Amino acid sequence: MEKELILLGLLKEGPRHGYELKRIIDEKISTFAPLSSGSIYYTLKGLEKDGLVSMARKRKGNYPEKEVYRITRKGEEKFKELLKKTCFNIKRLYRSLDIVLYFMNCLQPEEVIAGLRNRIGQIKGIREEIKGIYKKIRKEKQPYYIQAIAQRNIRFMDEETKWMKDFIQKIRKMA
């Protein structure tokens, strides 16, 4: 559902060829959404089959022909439906760390602590990357709702890090 939502949203902004969609996803969207540029064409073909997008081949000068995709009226309706559905419905978040915690007794306390520290380090790296993106989008004066994506992710990472540090202390007390 997210793939369709993203592609329909990008095409709602205007017609685009596959490479342009791939570039936007790689540069902007892949930092916060589960869409790899490799699945774009497969998803576009499905959207075209369902009548949500149309495709026309266009040639510019001596360059090779490009497949340019455009959202249809049916696609615009589906986009709004998916947008509302995604906003109003929440899925339970399943995190791999929860599985580790469930089976934590199979590891030594120091192994769990080492894993959590490693995870904190990884989160710190991702947080710095997102913080850099946030600075860039603020400098570009992107709309507040685009800035909110980075702010929200930073806040989640801060809370996750705080929780893991607290849990490390609890493990030490229990060991």
Triad 91, 33, 27: Cα angle to 5°: 175
Q: How many domains does the chain have?
A: 2
Entry pTM: 0.74
What is the C-alpha separation between 37 and 25, in angstroms, rounded? 6
Predicted pLDDT at 63: 82
Which residues span the domain enclosing 104? 96-174
pLDDT digits (tens, 9 = 90+) for 112-132: 999 999 999 999 999 999 999
Name the burial class of residue 175, with classes exposed (0-12), middle (13-18) and buried (19+) by CB atoms within 10 angstroms of its CB: exposed
How does residue 28 score in pLDDT terms, banded at 50, 70 and 90?
confident
Sheet bearing 66-71, strands edge to edge: 16-17, 66-71, 53-58
Same domain flag for 84 and 100: no
Residue 66 bridge partners (DSSP) = 58
- Note whether 35 and 3 are within 8 A (CB): yes
CATH of the domain at 20: 1.10.10.10
